[in-house]
Structure 1
Amino acid sequence: MQVEGRVAVVTGAGSGLGRATAEMVVARGGSVALVDADADRLQEVVSTLPREHALAVPADVTDALAAENAADQVIDHFGALHVNVNCAGIAPAAKIVSRGKPADVELFAKTLAVNLTGTFNINRVAIAAMLANEPDSSGERGVVVNTASDAAFDGQAGQAAYSASKAGVVGMTLPLARDVAGKGVRVNCIAPGLFATSMVSGMREDIQERLVDMILEPKRMGRPDEFALLVEHLIANSYINAECIRIDAGQRMLPR
């Protein structure tokens, strides 16, 4: 499926990987509904894109009704939904016990709610909309790309919640692809390493330097547009399905 002429829903589109993906869709001739919980930041991004090809949809990805309303809004505005890319996420750090106190279970639950349940929540309404599409010349109706993390495979100390949530995104890739097998919808997953996003820029400089040291080549953070380039390929390459692809320049995180 080519991006040109297609409609994508991108979550976490107010910044970072989601913003770069939304910009890629428009640059390739597609239209995009940008979803983010931060309405002000979302409007700032949408203002930089052609009005006829970009729609701001402020929404909490954990809210079931909000997801259903968002899908309806996209179809009402653009007439269809072909691609769903999920980049919304949070990454709090907390050890299981710190200074003698057990971890906050509500923070753990919130991380899973946003990163894992939020991804599934948007997937379910997006895929339902895709199944209503007429198949293209290749028999495709839609493409889903979810975002995990290399922390799903080698999470560091303090990343139990984040790693568990992203491992869940990896783990549901195959069963979701199997759920829609034979219906013209593919489901894939990207596991990015260290990218230059607001999530990373909030870390202390020494922590950022330590993480860069774990990268093989090139010895730098990834650029959001490099993530978007892989998204584009997963949309276009009809033979990639049920896969999780790491994009991390060979980074393998050490315990801390």
Structure 2
Amino acid sequence: MDLNGVSAVVSGGASGLGEATVRALAAAGAKVVVADLNEDKGKALADEIGGVFVKTDVTDETQVQAAVQAAVDSGAPLRVLVSSAGIGWATRTVDRNGTPHDLATFEKVVQINLIGTFNLLRLGAAAIAKTEPADADGLRGVVINTASVAALEGQTGQIAYSASKGGIVGMTLPAARDLAAIGVRVNTVCPGIIDTPIYGEGEAAEEFKAKLAQPVPFPKRMGKASEFAHLVVSLIENDYMNGETVRFDGGIRFQPK
């Protein structure tokens, strides 16, 4: 699908993987709605790329609908949804002291990562369904969800995170089949260890990142957010990619710890 002249919504678009994706989509000619909770970064990015910022809690139906409507109101047909909003968490199911995992925390991780992803998927796809087909195949739009290799090889303490990301992987094919009737493709990316601002700066941060990259077979480094964004654009532009979960991890396979 040609990105030039379409509109897109990117959740978690103000930083990290989302920011890189926003920049890549805008560079390809898309009008991008940056949907994020961070107003300062979100507005600055939207102004820079000629897009629109909408403060968005992905678990809130009204706020997600407002982000989708902003894309519809842009004057360009809404054809792209990218879900990259999410949080991480590390707690054992039962810790060494015998304390069970906090239920509220588990629910919060699932609410943001999984239900938040579905919220944008369902509301955005409903809006995309109202557009005219973009090609002879009847394609109207593309959805890219962000999961994690932890969905497939969750490590110790990743029970909540892996469950939430595994849910995203699990809904990819059913969503693609559901939305085929309206001409919407759905794919999911499972990133491995990606270098984003979450790791901080300075010597200690660099040492920590070097340690994280050691198990990566090749290239022997962390992935780049720009490489993730490049993959997202490629999945959007390749019209025969549908219902797929794609690893983006340099060949890493997570060990138990």
TM range (shorter): over 0.9
% identical aligned pairs: 44
Alpha-carbon deviations, 1:35-69, whole Å to 9, x = none?
0011122112223223xxx0001110000121122
Residue 48 of structure 1 corresponds to 48
Alpha-carbon deviations, 1:10-44, whole Å to 9, x = none?
01111011000000011111110000011122112
* In 2: Cα distance, 1:200 partner to 1:182 partner: 42
Residue 252 of structure 1 corresponds to 253
Any idea what SS the aligned residue of 2:74 has?
helix
Alpha-carbon deviations, 1:109-166, whole Å to 9, x = none?
0000000000000111110011111102232100000000000011111111000000
* In 2: Cα distance, 1:46 partner to 1:3 partner: 17
Alpha-carbon deviations, 1:54-109, whole Å to 9, x = none?
00011100001211222222212334311000000000111112233221111110
Read off the aligned partner of 2:102 and give its amino acid letter. Answer: D
CA RMSD of the aligned region, Å? 1.7
Read off the aligned partner of 1:89 and give its amino acid letter. Answer: G
Residue 59 of structure 1 corresponds to 56
| Total equivalences in the alignment | 253
Read off the aligned partner of 2:141 and give its amino acid letter. Answer: G
* In 2: Cα distance, 1:252 partner to 1:210 partner: 15
Residue 81 of structure 1 corresponds to 78
- Residue 193 of structure 2 corresponds to residue 194 of structure 1: yes
- Cα distance, 1:233 vs. partner? 0.8
1:96–1:102 CA contact under 8 A, matched in 2? yes
Residue 108 of structure 1 corresponds to 106
Read off the aligned partner of 1:169 and give its amino acid letter. Answer: I
1:86–1:146 CA contact under 8 A, matched in 2? yes
Any idea what SS the aligned residue of 1:48 has?
helix
Structure 1 gaps of 5+ residues are none
2:189–2:248 CA contact under 8 A, matched in 1? yes
Alpha-carbon deviations, 1:223-256, whole Å to 9, x = none?
1110011111111111010000001000111111
* In 2: Cα distance, 1:79 partner to 1:236 partner: 17
Residue 35 of structure 2 corresponds to 35
Residue 7 of structure 1 corresponds to 7
Residue 141 of structure 2 corresponds to 142
1:11–1:35 CA contact under 8 A, matched in 2? yes
Q: TM-score, normalised by structure 1?
A: 0.94
Residue 212 of structure 1 corresponds to 213
* In 2: Cα distance, 1:242 partner to 1:88 partner: 20
Q: TM-score, normalised by structure 2?
A: 0.93
